[in-house]
Amino acid sequence: MNSMFLKRLGPDTHANGAQTKSLCGCPDILEMTDGDFAIIGLDITKAGKSHLPATVGCGPDECIVKIPRKTLVLARQDIPESL
């Protein structure tokens, strides 16, 4: 990886010849060098904004990203348990 991303969380989505819908290497969860996380997935902002709960917002500089449940579940072992 480069200086912005530390590591992928969970297995490679294309390991052992597996294919994803877009065939472009996503979805993925990445740990960043500053300790935050980045998500690569489908941008569902346009469709999802009007369905957000009343206490949830999506600012003009943010987007709503969808990843398969499997991606997050398989990454669980790599997600730190504490701050």
Partners of 32 in beta bridges: 5
Q: Which residues contact 77 (CB under 8 A, 6 or more apart)?
A: 10
As a whole-number percent, the residues of the chain with pLDDT over 70 amount to 83
Question: Containing H/E element for 35?
Answer: none
- Contact between 18 and 26 under an 8 Å Cβ cutoff? The reply is no
As a whole-number percent, the residues of the chain with pLDDT over 90 amount to 70
Task: Tell me the per-residue pLDDT of 38-78, one tens digit each, with 9 for 90 and over.
Answer: 999 999 999 999 999 999 999 999 999 999 999 999 999 99
Whether this model's pTM surpasses 0.85:
no
Q: Where are the domains of the chain?
A: 5-72
pLDDT band at 7 (very low <50, low <70, confident <90, very high): very high
Question: Would the pLDDT of 25 be above 60?
Answer: no
For the chain, how many residues are written?
83
